[in-house]
């Protein structure tokens, strides 16, 4: 059996477009945007917005297609997530913080696609495909007392029958693009809250909170170690009222089977490989820059000799390349399963755990190999090292994803291995 890793031509064309955006609109502004945290990358947004809108229009058209009766015609396998993976890798090669400012649904859109009804998907995602100006989506789950343990969330949603509204109260922190999403009139944040605290994770539900909702306030934007072009916000919900049909999924609490927690995990299964793709882009930027600087010093990387005949630097570079390729292949597998609409919980966690660890190691090794100049702000290597670490933290830490992998392989539940 032959396995081909060749990228389809129409997918490669989109990746090439992303490369142009990375080279012309991201890399040149990378240092300035890093030094001026939270400055919106307007030139990048203006140039990438038409492309993103067209991509989202195609997604919307597919969602709007009525079901066909009778015999189905064979369809070409979807490449939607493969295209997204390669685009994110290339844009993160340009600048990971700027990439996170990409207009569109982002994590909020992923949550809507994962657990929303067909009507909700069309209603909420339409703004990202048909809006006149760029808009953003975000997802808010983490709280001051609830990080990896999502069952500990304190934000509540109470249904007001008279008003036919949900009333949300609580505080969310570390919300990527939270300020961007709430600053624009068409933005939204998917907020995870409990409709029944006694039910634990089964009582969790996602709610679409639209920009301009009274009682919703951004109280803080974090000053961060890396990805400084993007905002990471704290959001307070103080008796925030939203329409009854802005809840994603059923409001009925089923204590068996995970309830709303399954929706959260379905969202992460879709988004973790995309975080892995971002890590790959930073790792590739670091590796390519090291090889470029070594070539300037006439240090050749040899591939036809055993390790014991190579210098320490040559061995380091080969190890960096091998680890990056391993992370790429794991990410590719998780993405292909997603495009095939196959379960990818194990593969998604594997790719995220591997890529987060690998990009941290590669970017640190790059700074080490480049010496004092690698640590200086004259080159971008030190910035890539700072940007890299977040990929091992958000969307589930490396430790949490390793735990998920262990549970899936060994067949343990969270109660048995937690």
Tell me the pLDDT tens digit for each residue of 223-274.
999 999 999 999 999 999 999 999 998 888 765 555 567 777 888 899 999 9
Q: What's the alpha-carbon Rg for the chain, to the nearest Å?
A: 22
CA 158 to chain centre: 29
Query: What integer pLDDT is reported at residue 70 of this predicted model?
Result: 52
Tell me if residue 235 falls in helix, strand or coil: strand
- Is 395 an active-site residue? yes
72, pLDDT greater than 60:
no
H or E segment at 30? helix 30-35
Q: How many helices (H) and strands (E) does the chain have?
A: 14, 7
**CB 282 within 8 Å of CB 387:** yes
Structure tokens at 412: 């343990």
Domain edges within the chain: 9-66+77-130, 137-246, 260-410
Three-state secondary structure of 252-273: CCCCCCCCHHHHHHHHHHHHHH
Structure tokens at 206: 């996602």
Number of other residues whose CB lies within 10 A of the CB of residue 149: 11
Interatomic CA distance for residues 318 and 303, integer angstroms: 8
Share of the chain above pLDDT 70, in %: 95
Residues facing 127 on adjacent strands: none
Q: Place 68 in a pLDDT band, splitting at 50, 70 and 90.
A: low
Judge whether 9-66+77-130 and 260-410 match in fold: no
**CB 402 within 8 Å of CB 357:** no
Say which residue the tokens 């990080």 belong to: 147
Query: What integer pLDDT is reported at residue 255 of this predicted model?
Result: 55
Structure tokens at 272: 């973790």
> What CATH number does domain 260-410 carry, 3.40.50.300, 1.20.140.10, 1.20.210.10, 3.90.1150.10?
1.20.140.10
Closest C-alpha among 342, 285, 352 to residue 91: 285
Closest C-alpha among 165, 168, 173, 103 to residue 139: 173
73, pLDDT greater than 50:
no
Tell me which CATH homologous superfamily contains domain 137-246: Butyryl-CoA Dehydrogenase, subunit A, domain 2 (2.40.110.10)
Are β-strands 165-176 and 156-160 bridged in parallel, bridged antiparallel, or unpaired?
antiparallel
**CB 160 within 8 Å of CB 239:** no
Query: In the predicted model, what is the mean pLDDT of residues 76-104?
Result: 92
Query: What integer pLDDT is reported at residue 254 of this predicted model?
Result: 63
Query: What integer pLDDT is reported at residue 56 of this predicted model?
Result: 86
- pLDDT tens-digit series, residues 281-304: 999 999 999 999 999 999 999 999
Residue 402 half-sphere exposure toward CB, CA atoms < 13 A = 9
Residue with the larger pLDDT of the pair 214 and 261: 214
Query: What integer pLDDT is reported at residue 74 of this predicted model?
Result: 44
Interatomic CA distance for residues 305 and 294, integer angstroms: 18
Instruction: Compute the C-alpha angle 185/186/187, nearest 5°.
Output: 95
Structure tokens at 383: 């910035």
Q: Which CATH class is domain 9-66+77-130?
A: mainly alpha
Query: In the predicted model, what is the mean pLDDT of residues 333-337?
Result: 95
Query: What are the helix (H) ranges across 225-380?
Result: 260-296, 312-339, 345-370, 372-375
Interatomic CA distance for residues 294 and 192, integer angstroms: 48
Share of the chain above pLDDT 90, in %: 75
**CB 378 within 8 Å of CB 31:** no
Widest Cα–Cα separation across the chain = 78
Q: For the full predicted model, state whether its pTM sits above 0.85.
A: yes
Closest C-alpha among 92, 58, 103, 50 to residue 78: 58
101, pLDDT greater than 80:
yes
In order of 17, 19, 193, the CA distances from 384 in angstroms are 22, 17, 34
- Mean pLDDT of the chain, nearest integer: 91
Torsions phi, psi for 397 (to 5 deg): -65, 165
65, pLDDT greater than 90:
no
Say which residue the tokens 């917005």 belong to: 49
Catalytic residue among 113, 143, 347, 395: 395
Residues facing 220 on adjacent strands: 234
Interatomic CA distance for residues 277 and 282, integer angstroms: 9
Say which residue the tokens 């090291």 belong to: 290
Closest C-alpha among 243, 109, 255 to residue 168: 243
């Amino acid at each position: 059996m032959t396995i081909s890793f060749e990228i389809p031509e129409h997918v490669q064309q989109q990746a090439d477009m992303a490369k142009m955006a990375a080279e012309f609109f991201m890399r040149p502004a990378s240092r300035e945007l890093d030094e001026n945290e939270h400055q919106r990358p307007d030139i990048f947004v203006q140039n990438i917005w038409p492309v993103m809108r067209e991509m989202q229009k195609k997604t919307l058209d597919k969602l709007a297609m009525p079901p066909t009766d009778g015999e189905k015609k064979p369809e070409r396998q979807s490449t939607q997530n493969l295209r997204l993976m390669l685009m994110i890798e290339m844009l993160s090669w340009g600048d990971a913080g700027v990439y996170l400012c990409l207009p569109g649904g982002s994590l909020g859109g992923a949550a809507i696609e994962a657990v929303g009804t067909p009507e909700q998907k069309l209603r909420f995602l339409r703004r990202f495909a048909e809006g006149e100006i760029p808009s953003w989506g975000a997802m808010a789950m983490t709280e001051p007392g609830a990080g990896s343990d999502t069952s500990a969330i304190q934000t509540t949603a109470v249904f007001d029958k008279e008003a036919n509204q949900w009333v949300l109260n609580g505080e969310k922190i570390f919300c990527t693009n939270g300020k961007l999403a709430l600053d624009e009139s068409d933005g939204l944040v998917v907020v995870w809250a409990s409709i029944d605290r006694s039910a634990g994770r089964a009582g969790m539900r996602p709610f679409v909170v639209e920009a301009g909702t009274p009682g919703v306030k951004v109280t803080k934007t974090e000053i961060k170690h890396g990805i400084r072009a993007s905002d990471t916000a704290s959001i307070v919900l103080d008796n925030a009222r939203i329409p009854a049909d802005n809840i994603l999924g059923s409001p009925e609490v089923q204590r068996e089977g995970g309830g709303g927690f399954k929706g959260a995990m379905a969202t992460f299964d879709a988004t973790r490989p995309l975080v892995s793709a971002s890590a790959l882009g930073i790792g590739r930027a670091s590796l390519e820059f090291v090889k470029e600087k070594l070539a300037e010093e006439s240090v050749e990387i040899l591939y036809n000799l055993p390790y014991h005949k190579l210098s320490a630097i040559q061995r380091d570079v080969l190890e960096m390349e091998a680890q990056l390729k391993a992370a790429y292949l794991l990410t590719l597998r998780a993405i292909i399963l997603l495009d095939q609409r196959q379960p990818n919980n194990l593969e998604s966690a594997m790719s995220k755990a591997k890529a987060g660890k690998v990009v941290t190691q590669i970017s640190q090794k790059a700074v080490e190999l480049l010496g004092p100049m690698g640590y200086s702000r004259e080159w971008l290597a030190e910035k890539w090292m700072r940007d890299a670490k977040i990929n091992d933290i958000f969307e589930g830490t490396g430790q949490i994803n390793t735990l998920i992998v262990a549970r899936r392989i060994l067949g343990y539940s969270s109660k048995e291995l937690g």
